[in-house]
Amino acid sequence: MLQISYIREHKDQVLHGLKKRNWKDDQLSIINRILELDDTRRRLQQEIEQCQASLKKYATEIGQLYKEGKAQEAEAAKVEVASIKEQMKAPENELREVKTELENLLLEIPNVPHKLVPFGQSEEDNEVYKAWDKPLPELPQDALPHWELAKKYQLFDLELGTKLTGAGFPVYLGQGARLERALINYFLDRAHQAGYKEVSPPLLVNADTARATGQLPDKEGQMYYVERDNFYLIPTAEVPVTNLYRDTILEESDFPIKLTGYTPCFRREAGSYGAHVRGLNRVHQFDKVEIVRIEHPDNSYQALDEMLEHVSSLLDELELPYRIVRLCGGDLGFTSALTYDFEVYSAAQKRWLEVSSVSNFETFQSHRLRLRFKDGKKKRLAHTLNGSALALARIVAALLENNQSPEGIHLPKVLHPYTNFPLISPQTTP
C-alpha cells in the first residue's frame, strides 16, 4: 500500500506510474480524492485535538476550583466540558467515516512501477531482458508433449486427480513423484547454499496475513477460501513467509534477511481451454520453492540482481533453455514495482513457459506489514522481494519434453543424486 505522504510528495510520479498500468482518467481521479480526504482528515484531527486540549485544561481547572471552594464556578466549567464533548461527536463520527473511505481507496491503488518498467497492454508487450543465445532444441516429428509422455511412463495422472478432487489437481506417480520430490530437495539445497534460511510455513492463512502481502483485496477470486474458519489456502509461500516479519522493527544490522520455503500452492484460476493449458501448463495445485528477502532500501535492487542470478544458475544446472523478460505496466502484478519472469523453452510444444517471477515490492508490502527498521532516531520502511526458485509443474513439463529420446527421458546430471536414476524409462525401478 502506498503511503499518503508519498502520494502527496510524488503525485506526478504516481500518476505517471498508474498510466503505465493503463489507468484511465476516471481511475486516476482517485488520487485527487485520496488527497482531499487526507486534507479533511487532517482538519478534523486538528479540530478534535483542540477540543481534547480544552477538555484537559478544564479538567485541571475544575479540580483546582473545587480545592479553592469555588463549587459554583466548577459546576459552570463542567457544563462547558459537556458542551465540548457534544461538539466533538460530529467531527469524531466524520473522522471515522473519512478514515474508512481513505483506507478503502488506498487498498485499490497498485504499486508505482519502477522507471525501468515499459509501457504495454499485456504480456505481448513485455521486454526480453536476457535472450537465449544458443540454438533451441529440436525434436523429431514424433516427439510427444509432456501429458502424453506422462501416460507412456506413468508419471502423473490428471484423470485420477479429477476423480479425487477436480480438474487441475494432478496425481504424481512412481518416477514422476520421485522426480517431483527430487526437484524440491534440489531447489531447497541450492537455496540453503546461497544463504537462505529454510522455513516450513502453514498452508492456510488468515485475512490479515493475505492483506499484508497484497493478495487481499486484489485476488479474492484466485484464492481458495475456507468460509467456516475464515482462512485462505496460500497461492504462494511468499504470503506466510513474508508475514513472519509483520509488526516488526528491525535493526540495520539484521539485513539482509534471506528466507526460503517449499509449499504446495493453490490457485483457483485455471485459464481457458486448449493446448496451452493442457497437462501441467496450468493447474490448481502445484509445488514451488520460494525465496524471500527483506532488505535495506539502499540495497534492494542489488538483492534483486542476486535473486536473478540464483534462479539463472538453477536453470543452467537443469540444462534448460530459458529467457528473462521484464514485465510491462499492463502485465505487472498489483504489488510489484519491478518484475522479471523466467521462461523455459518447451521443445515439444514449441513455446516458452513461465516458471518464475522475481519481484521487488519496495515499501508497498512493508507499509501494510508495518515492517520497519531503525535508521538512527527514525524508523523507516524496509523493502521486500520474492521469487520462485522454482515452480515445479512447468519445470517438470520442460524436462520431460526436452530430454525425451528412444531410450527414455534423460535427466540432467545435477538431479542424479536426488533421483538415484539418470533415465526415466519403463525399465526404471518404480
Strands 249-250 and 372-375: parallel
pLDDT of residue 274: 54
Confidence at 275, pLDDT banded by 50, 70, 90: low
In the chain, % of residues over pLDDT 90: 89
- 57 sits in which H/E element: helix 25-67
Dihedral (CA of 329, 333, 338, 340) sign: negative
Residues 398, 353: Cα–Cα separation, whole Å = 8
* CA diameter of the chain: 106
Is 353 in contact with 322 (CB distance < 8 Å)?
Answer: no
Residues 386 and 292 sit within 8 Å (Cβ to Cβ)? yes
The C-alpha cell at 198 is: 529454510
Tell me the pLDDT band of 140, cut-offs 50, 70 and 90. confident
31: cell is: 488520487
Rounded Cα–Cα distance for residues 340 and 327 (Å)? 6
Cα 152 to Cα 128, 214, 319, 408, distances in angstroms: 35, 42, 23, 10
- Side-chain half-sphere CA neighbours of 408 within 13 A: 15
- Kindly tell me if the per-residue pLDDT of 268 is higher than 50: yes
- The amino acid at 352: W
For residue 135, is it left (φ>0), alpha (ψ between -120 and 50) or beta?
A: beta
pLDDT band with cut points at 50, 70 and 90 for residue 180: very high
427 φ/ψ angles, rounded to the nearest 5 degrees: -90, -15
Residues 365-420: tens digit of each pLDDT: 999 999 999 999 999 999 999 999 999 999 999 999 999 999 999 999 999 999 99
CA–CA separation, 85 and 34 (whole Å): 29
pTM over 0.95: no
The domains found in the chain, sorted by start residue, are 4-108 (1.10.287.40), 123-424 (3.30.930.10)
Task: Among 62-66, 331-335, 358-362, name the one with the lowest average pLDDT.
Answer: 62-66
Complete DSSP assignment for 342-360:
EEEEETTTTEEEEEEEEEE
Q: What is the pLDDT of residue 272?
A: 46
Q: How far is CA 228 from the centre of its chain?
A: 25
CA 338, 288, 217: angle at the middle one, nearest 5? 55
Pairwise CA distance, residues 386 & 359, whole Å: 6
Task: Give dist(CA 8, CA 15) in Å, integer.
Answer: 11
Q: The sheet that has 204-206: what strands, in order across it?
A: 204-206, 231-233, 225-226
pLDDT at 248 exceeding the cut of 60 = yes
Q: Which of 136, 137, 140, 135 is nearest to 406 (CA)?
A: 140
From the list 421, 423, 424, 403, the residue with the least C-alpha distance to 143 is: 403
Q: 343 near 354, Cβ under 8 Å?
A: yes
Query: Which residue, chain included where needed, has cell 501429458?
Result: 147
Neighbouring residues of 1: CB distance < 8 A, sequence distance ≥ 6: 106, 107, 109, 214, 364, 367, 368
Rg of the chain on CA atoms, in Å: 28
